[in-house]
């Protein structure tokens, strides 16, 4: 249940016969965002102080990509970015996991 951002984003089925990717991670449909677009997901979890929260996203690079890889993942509490993901850029037609983790502080409780 991803929400789309500005410009061009949505869902697609990237595996065969499309040829966009060599495989599909954990499922048959993925979200996509073109340059300048975004994808978001809101979960029904309320932050608790001392609890560590992690966001793991498999980011893909289309097989025919001609531009440099430049995706970013962010973990937000409310409207505040609390962590930015790190990972290794995927090769053409491949996926790579990016992870953003954050341990909630007392001031984050209830977000």
CA R_g for the chain: 15
Contacts 24+ apart (CB under 8 A), 67-74: 67/35, 70/35, 71/33, 71/98, 73/98, 73/100, 74/100
| CA separation for the pair 32, 11 (Å, rounded) | 6
**pLDDT of 36-77, one tens digit each?**
778 888 888 899 999 999 999 888 888 888 888 888 999 999
pTM strictly above 0.85: no
* Paired sense of beta strands 52-60 and 74-77, if any: unpaired
Give me the pLDDT at residue 90, please: 92
Whether the bond into 75 is cis, omega within 30 of 0: no
| CA separation for the pair 104, 53 (Å, rounded) | 8
């Amino acid at each position: 249940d991803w929400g789309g951002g500005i410009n061009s984003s949505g869902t697609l089925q990237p595996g065969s016969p499309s040829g966009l990717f060599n495989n599909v991670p954990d499922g048959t449909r993925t979200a996509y965002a073109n340059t300048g677009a975004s994808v978001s997901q809101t979960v029904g979890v309320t932050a608790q102080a001392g609890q560590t929260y992690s966001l793991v996203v498999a980011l893909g690079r289309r097989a025919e990509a001609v531009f440099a890889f430049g995706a970013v993942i962010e973990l937000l509490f409310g409207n505040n970015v609390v962590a930015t993901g790190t990972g290794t850029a995927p090769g053409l037609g491949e996926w790579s996991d990016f992870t953003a983790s954050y341990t909630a502080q007392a001031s984050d409780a209830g977000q």
